[in-house]
Structure 1
């Protein structure tokens, strides 16, 4: 059972996500909270996944994210947003969030997205990520895209699957590799691309056009 905590300042949003997610087999919303209640709730409930509103009036999502990431065994955190302010998302992703969801995400998509997060994958709303491609992992003139050329063919294959939201285990199954080998490839990818985590690597894969190509090969 995947345990989820939903953090949002609006009761209607909290109850809506709870109602939708509890209809998905293997997922349980164990608690909902406002920003001010979030850290205590997460410590008490020990969820696997936290869906966290990025902008709240009492305690904002970035502050909550920092508190969660400082916990000894932090859960996976994905940010909830209406995406009216890019800089908040940029800061959250650099702060360790595993992705972001728009609040108007189709209800039937929420369960699979939560399962992806729980399995160690990344979640990037396609509509929202398009407006971030020029900002992550660096500034528009950052030569990060050219660093993709440093990757081996196998590392590019792994990067594409990572950007599709697959966990290490799922990537291994797809490419017939052990989870340990995939972990080593991911570590090498992050080092070569000079990014801090899987989300930034996934966005860089989009910037480099790897997903458009549908394979790990550069044109």
Structure 2
């Protein structure tokens, strides 16, 4: 389901996503009608504009998160550094993507969200951190210290979380059962003192773990 105040954006996303054989766009709507439409259509994934004139995206997100079976929500934004993004992520959004995301990437990002992964634009997430008033060298050092508490295997899993992989996909990549990956994820969240995969991914980004990973054997990704 796509939620945006602009009809052109809604129709554009619907057109792009409906072209994928394995994705059905069950509804497109404005913010004012979003919660009722989710209750009626029960989408697995909601792409939600963060800035809307009728009802802002953060309000819609909070209302969706308290539903009995809330959908996975990713925020849509036009800006690389949107001051509302960190609030959205801490409120339970599974990530964010820019409205000018390449059409050929959009379907895969929705698949990632549906599989339980996170969606974070590396360029945009760095910009979000830099724009946040709490961002500082001391905070960067603290993030690095927290990542330093992880084992080598946990750091490997954290990088894959930040790439958007689900537990099953991570297990297939590094030859572990989904249950073992789940245990690693739980340990990672505890050691990093964060409440969600998306917050762990952002912390890994800020600590430079992803840049280091790209310089390694997997740098071709």
TM-score, scaled to structure 1? 0.92
Per-residue Cα deviation, 1:189-215 (whole angstroms, up to 9, x for no partner): 011001111111111111222212227
Name the SS of the counterpart of 2:32 in structure 1.
Answer: coil
Given the alignment of the two structures, is residue 21 of structure 1 paired with residue 21 of structure 2, yes or no? Answer: no
Work out which of the residue numbers 38, 63, 66 in structure 1 matches 2:59.
63
Pairing 1:77-96 to 2, within 5 Å after superposition: 77-83=73-79, 86-96=82-92
**Which structure carries more strand by proportion?**
1
Given the alignment of the two structures, is residue 213 of structure 1 paired with residue 209 of structure 2, yes or no? Answer: no
Per-residue Cα deviation, 1:122-161 (whole angstroms, up to 9, x for no partner): 001233112023467x642321221111101111110011
Residue in structure 2 matched with residue 183 of structure 1 by the alignment:
182
The whole-number CA distance in structure 1 between the counterparts of 2:18 and 2:82 is 30
The whole-number CA distance in structure 1 between the counterparts of 2:25 and 2:35 is 16
Runs of 4+ in 1 over 6 A off after TM superposition: none
Per-residue Cα deviation, 1:54-111 (whole angstroms, up to 9, x for no partner): 0101111000000000011111000000116522101101101000010111111100
Residue in structure 1 matched with residue 170 of structure 2 by the alignment:
171
Q: Note closer, same or farther for the CA distance 1:176–1:84 as it changes in structure 2 (3 Å cut).
A: closer
The whole-number CA distance in structure 2 between the counterparts of 1:7 and 1:146 is 39
The whole-number CA distance in structure 2 between the counterparts of 1:29 and 1:105 is 18
Per-residue Cα deviation, 1:150-189 (whole angstroms, up to 9, x for no partner): 1011111100110111000000111111111111111110
TM-score, scaled to structure 2? 0.91
Aligned partners of 1:133 and 1:206 also within 8 Å: no
Aligned partners of 2:75 and 2:96 also within 8 Å: yes
The whole-number CA distance in structure 1 between the counterparts of 2:107 and 2:80 is 24
Name the SS of the counterpart of 1:71 in structure 2.
Answer: coil
Residue in structure 1 matched with residue 6 of structure 2 by the alignment:
10
Work out which of the residue numbers 105, 112, 121 in structure 2 matches 1:109.
105
Aligned partners of 1:7 and 1:53 also within 8 Å: yes
Name the SS of the counterpart of 1:74 in structure 2.
Answer: coil
Aligned partners of 1:53 and 1:81 also within 8 Å: yes
Pairing 1:110-125 to 2, within 5 Å after superposition: 110-125=106-121
The whole-number CA distance in structure 2 between the counterparts of 1:209 and 1:129 is 12
Structure 1 unaligned blocks of 5 or more: none
**Which structure carries more helix by proportion?**
2
How many equivalent residue pairs? 212
